[in-house]
Amino acid sequence: MIGLSGIEIQAGGFRVGPVDLELQDGEYGVLLGPSGAGKSLVLEAVAGVRRVAAGAIRVDDEDVTALTPERRHVGLVFQDGLLFPHLSVAGNVAYGLRRAGVAGRAARAAEVERLADAVGATALLKRKPATLSGGERQRVAVARALAARPRALLLDEPLSAVDAEAREGLQELLRRVSHEQGLSVLHVTHDRAEASALADTCAVLVGGRLLQTGPPREILMAPADEAVARFVGARNVLHGVRDESDAHAVRLPAGAALRVAPALPAGAADLVVRPEDVKLWRAGQGPPGAAQVLSGTVVGLSLQGGFALVRVEVPDALDALIPARDADALGLTLGAAVDVGVPAGAVHVLPTP
Amino acid sequence: MIRFRPSLFWALCAVAGALLLAFVLLPAASMIVGAGAGLLGEALRQDDVRRSLWLTVSAAVIATVIGFVVGVPLAYVLARKEFAGKRLVEGVIDLPIVFPHTAAGVALLTVWGRDGVVGRVLAPLGITFTETVAGIVLAMLFVSLPFLVDTAREAFAMVDPRYEHVARTLGSSPGGAFARVTFPQAWRGVLAGGVLMWGRGISEFGAVVILAYNPKVISVLTYERFEGFGLRAAQPPAVLIVIVAFVVFVGLRTLLLPRRRSRKDAA
C-alpha cells in the first residue's frame, strides 16, 4: 500500500502539491501529467531521495516520511532502466539480494535465475547493459527492483524509451507483476494511452497541482476542469451560456446551441465534448428527428494514424475524430458541408469553479 | 569503400596540432638526443641522481596518495551537493594553480616552517617540514591537489546521480552506493586526476626549493648542477625524469584508460 497525505515538495522555485493519493496492495496507480508537471518529484519523494516540505508518506501503513531510501523497501525503475553499466545483467539483478536476506551464493544465483525467468530475461544474464535494447533493459530493471523484495514499485516513465512492439509486452509484464505479487505500483507518465491501458487509478498532475484522481475512464469522460480535459485529449472545450428558456441547452459564442443531459442553472456553462463522440454525415443525411444534428462546414482535415481529425464549424469550431475509412467514404474535403451529430449524453458539463 | 576527403578545415586543424606537438616534443627530444645513451647510463650510475630520482618519484606518490584520501571525498561532495559557499570552496581549491610557485613555498613556510602557525606546534613533537621529505611532500601536495580534485569532480559529475538513487532503494547506504555504483563508473577519471597530480608533483621546483632545498628532488638537483657545472651536467637528471614521467604517463594511459570509442564504433 502507498499512501500520500498532503505531500508538498519544493524544488527551487517550483512547488508541487499538496498531493493526496492512496493505492491499495495490487493496485496500479498512474500519475499522469505533461512534462514539467512535477510527477518525477513526487516519485522521488516516495522513494526517499527527495525531502518533502509537508505531508506524510506511508508504505504498508508504516510512516516512511523520515526514513532513508534503503529503509523504505520500495523499488525504483527509471525511463532508461539505468542498469549499472559496470555489472552484467546477472550482477544487476543480484545487487539487492544480499540486503533482501538471500544468503549464500548458490541461493542468490538461483534467485537471479528465477527473477530473470519471471521477466523473460533468462537469455540476457551474461550480457552487459550496453548491449541490450530499451525493452530488454526495462525487463532487467524490473527484475532488479523485485529482487530487493519491495513493498511497492515506483516507475518513472518506464516505457518512454521503448519501441511500440516491446511496449505492449512490458505493459503486460508490469500489470502481471503488480497483480500477482500484490504490489502497489505508482507509475509516472505523460502518455494518456499508457495511463488508460495500465491504470486502476489515475491521478492527473498539471503545473504541480493534483487536479483529479479516479479510474482512467472517469477522467477521460468526466474531467474535473479545463486543464484536465485538454490534457486527456478532449479537444472540444466550449464556453457558453445556458439558454434562457431551456435548462438543457447551451448557447455557444458563435451562435450554435448544444443540448446537454442534465438541467443546468442559468448563467455560464463550460462544456467538454470528446472528438470521438462527434458524428459526421453528408449534408442532409443526418438521422432525421435526431435531437442534436447541426449543419457544419469542414475547415480542417488531418490524418492521425488510422483516423481522421476533422474540424467543422457549426459555426463554433468542433473537432471530430472518425476512422479514416469513414472520412474517405464521406468524401470529406475542405469547405464540404456536413451534418454534425453531438449526442446530449456525450456532452460533459464542467463543474462550476 | 568510403574515402577520406581532405578539406581546408581539417587541414588547418592538422597543421595546428602538428605545430603544438613539435613545440612540446622538440625540447624533450633535443635534450634526450643531446644527452645520448652514454650520458644516461652515467647518470644512473651516480648515487645522487639515483637517490634524487627515487626521492622525487616516491614523494610525489605519497603526495598523490594523501591527495586521494582527502581530495576524492571533497571532489564527490562538490560533484553532488549544492551548498552556500560552494563556488568559494572551488576557488580556494584552484588557488594553488594561480599561485606563483615560489610564492606558494613562502606561504607554506609561514604555516609549516619552524616558526609557522602549525610548524611551531609540531616541531616539539619532532615533526618538521623544512629541509625534510615531509616538506617536499607538503609542497608537492599543495601545488598539485587541484589537478586531482578538479578531474575527480568532473568524473563523478559524469555519473548520473539517479544510479545512486536506484542503489539506495536496493538497500545500499550512501557510502555503499558510492563504493558499489559511483566509484566503479568514475574510477578512470579519478585515476587520470591522480596521474596528473603525480606528474605535477614530480615536476615541482619553486615551492619545494623554498621549503626543502635538501634532500634534493630532481628538479632542484638539475638546477643546482646547471648553476654549478653548466648545461652538460644538468642534462642527465633532467633526461631521466622526463623519460620516467613519459613512460609512466603513456603506460598508465595505455593500460588503464580505454580507447575512446568513436561514434562509428558505437553505432
Partner A contacted by B160 (CB < 8 A): yes
* Contact flag B168-A49 (C-beta cutoff 8 Å): yes
A82 with A213, same domain? yes
Total domains in chain B come to 1
A162 with A41, same domain? yes
A290 with A336, same domain? yes
Q: How far is A208 from chain B (nearest CA, A)?
A: 21
Length of chain B: 267
Whole-number Å distance between alpha carbons of B61 and B218 = 14
Asked if residue B8 belongs to a domain, the reply is no
Identify the CATH number of the domain in which residue A143 sits. 3.40.50.300
Instruction: Please give the order of strands across the beta sheet that includes A209-214.
Output: A74-77, A152-156, A184-189, A28-32, A201-206, A209-214
A213 with A332, same domain? no
Q: How far is A132 from chain B (nearest CA, A)?
A: 13
* Contact flag B169-A147 (C-beta cutoff 8 Å): no
pLDDT tens track for A103-143: 888 999 999 999 999 888 899 999 999 999 988 999 999 99
**Who's near A335: CB < 8 A, 6+ residues apart?**
A297, A298, A299
* Nine cell digits for residue A74: 520500495
A255 with A332, same domain? yes
User: pLDDT tier at B264 (50, 70, 90 boundaries)?
Assistant: very low
Identify the CATH number of the domain in which residue A338 sits. 2.40.50.100
A97 with A204, same domain? yes
**Higher pLDDT among residues B249 and B90, named by residue:** B90
Least CB-CB distance to A47: which of B165, B172, B173? Answer: B165
* Contact flag B162-A78 (C-beta cutoff 8 Å): yes
Residue B15 is predicted with a pLDDT of: 94
pLDDT tens track for B213-259: 889 999 999 999 999 988 888 888 888 888 888 888 888 877 766 65
Where among A174, A207, A230 does a domain terminate? A230
Asked if residue B41 belongs to a domain, the reply is no
A226 with A252, same domain? no
Closest CA relative to residue A349, chosen from A286, A276, A259, A235? A259
Identify the CATH number of the domain in which residue B57 sits. 1.10.3720.10
The range of the structural domain enclosing residue A223 comes to 2-230
Please tell me whether the overall predicted TM-score, pTM, comes out greater than 0.90 for this model.
no
Least CB-CB distance to B163: which of A75, A82, A150? Answer: A82
**Who's near B256: CB < 8 A, 6+ residues apart?**
B188, B191
Partner A contacted by B172 (CB < 8 A): yes
A-chain CB neighbours of B171 within 8 Å are: 70, 96, 98-100, 148
Least CB-CB distance to B185: which of A85, A150, A154? Answer: A85
A60 with A93, same domain? yes
Identify the residue whose cell numbers are 584552484: B94
Q: How far is CA B134 from CA B60, B62, B139, B149, B204, in A?
A: 11, 10, 9, 21, 15
Indicate the average pLDDT of chain A. Answer: 90
Please check whether residue A323 is in contact with residue A330, taking contact to mean a CB–CB distance below 8 angstroms.
no
Segment B30-45 shows an average pLDDT of: 76
pLDDT tens track for A164-213: 888 888 898 899 889 888 999 999 999 988 998 899 999 999 999 999 99
In the chain, the amino acid numbered B228 is: G
Taking 50 as the threshold, does the pLDDT of residue B74 lie above it?
Answer: yes
Asked if residue B24 belongs to a domain, the reply is no
**Who's near B258: CB < 8 A, 6+ residues apart?**
B188
The range of the structural domain enclosing residue B237 comes to 52-255
Least CB-CB distance to A95: which of B165, B170, B185? Answer: B170
Question: Which residue of chain A comes nearest to B168, CA vs CA?
Answer: A70
pLDDT tens track for A86-96: 999 999 999 99
Question: Which residue of chain A comes nearest to B176, CA vs CA?
Answer: A70
Indicate the average pLDDT of chain B. Answer: 88
A309 with A328, same domain? yes
B-chain CB neighbours of A86 within 8 Å are: 184-185
A246 with A340, same domain? yes
